[in-house]
Structure 1
Amino acid sequence: MVLGIVNIKIINLINIYKIRLIVIGSGYLIFLIKKKKYLIDTNEKLLIFSYLFYFGMFLLSFIVHRGNASELDNPSRLILLLPLLLLFYQYQIRFKVLLYSIPIGSVIVGLVALYDRFYLNVPRAFSPRIMAIQGGDIAMSLGMFSLVIALYFLSKKEYRFTVFCLIATLFGMLGSFLSTARGGWIGSPFIIGFILFTYRKTLSKRFFIIIGSLMIISVVSISLIPKTQVISRINLAKNEMVAYFEKDRANTSLGARFEMWKSAVLMAKEKPILGWGQQGVIEKRKQQAKEKIIHPTVARFDHAHNQYLDDLSKRGVLGLLALLGILLMPLWFFIKSSKSHNLEIRSVVILGIVHISSVMFYNLSQGFFTHNSGNIFYFFLIIVFYAMIKTLNLKSENN
């Protein structure tokens, strides 16, 4: 009871500060435009356009399908976050703040997961506060960010911070494991491989062998602890796939997902351009279940547990293109910025690429953007990393 009240107060406090940031940013945007103190470059225009197009598709779907106003709640947040890009340009975030805050956040996430799982004895970490899958995915991202920062500190020969960030990496991964959210585990080997590959020229082979061995030993050790449920969740996934494809059993976690994906694809074939809309998808899925096209178990779900297929079924091909736009447009900017020889800029670039790539993996098995936590986490960090690169570029040019 007390914990629930504290959580509500924390959430309300976060919302108050978020609203204040939006109001301040919007006011400052108007001021800068009037004073002509801020020129929007091509990259920013493309980023802003992708955000506006994404929101515009929700608005178009709302109008065409006569949807509920609540459908515009989540996508509207990314529009309200855009003024922060200009605010961070004028009141710059210090690079060191980014370096220290992310690993600390990763450690805190891991400690919260341990508290949830071993003290509160909840089946899945983070579930007392937010959806466990979302919490687990965000924890994994923080762990991967911490690994990038660890390698930055190692390049600078700051070994104490390197060790701390490696510990933070394990805490973030631990948070993901304790959430039992398997979607966050799928992409992690690829993300880790990419991070190590990008630093291959600045770090010795001996280090890669040591760090690789330590991570493998740590992950295996965590997996073997019964309460983490890692091994049991992996075995369960294997059994559910066999049950679905060989025995046609869809009343399992993976089986239901496969049925929802089938449902979304069938809907997209019928209405490929603008989709069915939020309410239309719900009604159509019930109809499919009634006609025994899909298993009755999935009739109650309002999204496809795959962000790409969900957007395709609800907002059609245009909606899918809008989704890909908010992922690929900033990704293109980060990749283009990776040519910089400045170590700080390259580190933020890698953080941005890791951030987008991770979310793209999460979207395969989860509607990451159907939740407020996913929207704020993704779009806010894109703006932070983008503004940081622009700030560091300006400092580099002035030196």
Structure 2
Amino acid sequence: MIRWCRFSASALLFSFLSLLLVFRYAYVVLPLVAAGLALLCVLFWIVNRESRWRLDREDGAFLLALLVFAAVWLGDVWRTGVWPVGEGNQGVGLPLWPVLAALVLVAWRQAPPRPGFWWWGVALGAFLAGGLAAYEHWWLGRWRVGNGINAIPFGNLALLLGSLSLAGLVSLSSARNGLRLALGLATAGGLLASVLSGTRGGWVVFPVLALIVLLAFHATRPRWGRFRGSMVGLVAVLVAMLLAMSLIPGVPVKGRLSQGVANLQEYAGGDAGSSLGVRLEMWRAGWQLIQARPGLGWGEGRLEAQRDAWVEEGRFHSGISRYDQLHSDLVDTFARRGVPGLLSLMALYGVPLWLFWRHWRKSGDDQTRALALCGVLIVVGFVGFGLSQSMLRDVRGLSGYLGLIVGCWCLVKGRCRSVPG
């Protein structure tokens, strides 16, 4: 049973990573299948007492962060009677997703996926995202690509998959040439998809992610200094490649940057109707909502009602009423669920970040350190993305974050048991 559960976990993790941005319903189909199989495995182990549970204090902290975030969100739904719907009414069950993630974590800790499925899944997912973006932009003539979904989460997730590929390329000193080539192509594919999506927030976050990878490389340099020259050269090539992608005629980078500057000038002049102007107005409204009710927040539905009432009074631009969120996970969560919501969000970020960083710093195994580095990049990436977009209120954003951190954590802990010392 353990072997079957481990194989299914590996296959589902690979499928989730590779299809998240390619198959439109991968964000919901694969997690539900994973949760269903996880429940069957857990029930079988409970009934048959097949083996001892592998959960420890670190797992308990991870599970607590997931369940507290879900509990606070569900408590908000209970007090208001309103469920979040998300873009296109696709996010009705969002508050329950961390519970499903906790169930999958329990099962996958007992039968963890194999690391190879992670690396090949990340590589294929980033590469396919880049290929799809190129097809949409140069063949279909779309200025901003997104595979039929919001271009912002598409570009952010593609960039993150490319960054994870870069982490594997730099960190896995014993990887075979085939995997190295795949990770190199995937890094380029993820960056290309981000560039063609026109997602400006991701371009701000990428230098931070690249710096973390370089610092991690520098810290491990004494172990495999012979790779230093080639890796530094590779990173330089990737940076040059990113700049080259940005300068290709027709690519939205220059236009999006120019548009951002013009939007700021318009907003300073009193015109808040532009894309960036409306976002700044949402943040301004969010801050006033927080000041009015910092304790428990306004709640699902009530936040939108108060915001729209202020719009009718002429306090904010009417464009902010088109959205069901405030374009910032931090601002939206604080304004909607108050201090408890803010603390639960900090735990959802902070607990995994601390645990991944701890394993990266203490482990003496290259594979474990590479996986732990990926965990750090995932959390830092979503923190950065969430400053200018409510990624955790987006169906693919929340699914992507939970799937990535849970899968990566189970791999890290699985390596800890298999590596001596």
Q: Who is 1:104 aligned against?
A: 124
C-alpha distance in 1 between matches for 2:301 and 2:28: 28
- Alpha carbons of structure 1 residues 48 and 157: separation in structure 2 relative to 1, 3 Å: closer
Residue 256 in 1 paired to residue 278 in 2?
A: yes
Output the amino acid matched with 2:167: V
C-alpha distance in 2 between matches for 1:69 and 1:175: 29
Post-superposition CA distance 1:54-83 (Å, at most 9, x none): 111111111222323757611201211222
- Higher mean C-alpha deviation, range 214-223 or range 138-147: 214-223
Q: Who is 2:165 aligned against?
A: 146
CA RMSD after TM alignment: 2.2
Q: Who is 1:177 aligned against?
A: 195
Indicate which of 266, 271, 275 corresponds to 1:243. 266
C-alpha distance in 2 between matches for 1:11 and 1:300: 24
C-alpha distance in 1 between matches for 2:84 and 2:180: 47
C-alpha distance in 1 between matches for 2:358 and 2:250: 43
- Higher mean C-alpha deviation, range 235-244 or range 364-373: 235-244
The correspondence of residues 330-341 of structure 1 with structure 2, limited to 5 A, is: 330-338=352-360, 339-341=362-364
C-alpha distance in 1 between matches for 2:318 and 2:217: 49
Post-superposition CA distance 1:119-141 (Å, at most 9, x none): 22223211x42111110011000
Q: CA deviation at 1:14?
A: 6.8
C-alpha distance in 2 between matches for 1:164 and 1:250: 44
- Higher mean C-alpha deviation, range 281-290 or range 15-24: 15-24
Output the amino acid matched with 2:102: L
- Alpha carbons of structure 1 residues 51 and 352: separation in structure 2 relative to 1, 3 Å: same
C-alpha distance in 1 between matches for 2:215 and 2:232: 13
Output the amino acid matched with 1:37: R
Q: Who is 2:139 aligned against?
A: 119
Q: Is the 8 A contact 2:55 2:106 kept in 1?
A: no
Q: CA deviation at 1:99?
A: 1.9
Q: CA deviation at 1:290?
A: 1.8
Unaligned runs of 5+ in 1: 1-6
Post-superposition CA distance 1:19-72 (Å, at most 9, x none): 332122112223334527214311111111111111111111112223237576
C-alpha distance in 1 between matches for 2:197 and 2:125: 16
C-alpha distance in 1 between matches for 2:75 and 2:304: 18
Indicate which of 327, 341, 360 corresponds to 1:305. 327
The correspondence of residues 1-399 of structure 1 with structure 2, limited to 5 A, is: 11=24, 15-34=28-47, 35=49, 37-68=52-83, 73-126=93-146, 128-153=147-172, 155-156=173-174, 158-200=176-218, 201=221, 202-203=224-225, 206-207=229-230, 209-245=232-268, 247-338=269-360, 339-397=362-420
Q: Is the 8 A contact 2:144 2:197 kept in 1?
A: yes
Post-superposition CA distance 1:197-234 (Å, at most 9, x none): 10112445533542243123211111111221111111
- Higher mean C-alpha deviation, range 114-123 or range 16-25: 16-25
Output the amino acid matched with 1:171: G
- Alpha carbons of structure 1 residues 167 and 89: separation in structure 2 relative to 1, 3 Å: same
C-alpha distance in 2 between matches for 1:157 and 1:83: 32
- Alpha carbons of structure 1 residues 188 and 17: separation in structure 2 relative to 1, 3 Å: closer
Output the amino acid matched with 1:22: A
- Alpha carbons of structure 1 residues 23 and 119: separation in structure 2 relative to 1, 3 Å: same
Unaligned runs of 5+ in 2: 1-19, 86-90
Post-superposition CA distance 1:258-296 (Å, at most 9, x none): 110010110111111111112111111111112222122
Q: Is the 8 A contact 1:281 1:302 kept in 2?
A: no
C-alpha distance in 2 between matches for 1:189 and 1:329: 23
Q: Is the 8 A contact 1:306 1:365 kept in 2?
A: yes
C-alpha distance in 2 between matches for 1:262 and 1:13: 35
C-alpha distance in 1 between matches for 2:295 and 2:43: 36
Output the amino acid matched with 1:345: T
- Higher mean C-alpha deviation, range 18-27 or range 249-258: 18-27
Q: TM-score, normalised by structure 1?
A: 0.91
Q: TM-score, normalised by structure 2?
A: 0.87
Q: Is the 8 A contact 1:59 1:72 kept in 2?
A: no
Q: CA deviation at 1:358?
A: 0.5
Q: Is the 8 A contact 2:143 2:251 kept in 1?
A: no
Q: How many residues align?
A: 388
C-alpha distance in 1 between matches for 2:143 and 2:93: 30
C-alpha distance in 1 between matches for 2:190 and 2:24: 21
- Alpha carbons of structure 1 residues 69 and 146: separation in structure 2 relative to 1, 3 Å: closer
C-alpha distance in 1 between matches for 2:212 and 2:284: 32
Q: Who is 1:4 aligned against?
A: none
Q: Is the 8 A contact 2:74 2:95 kept in 1?
A: no
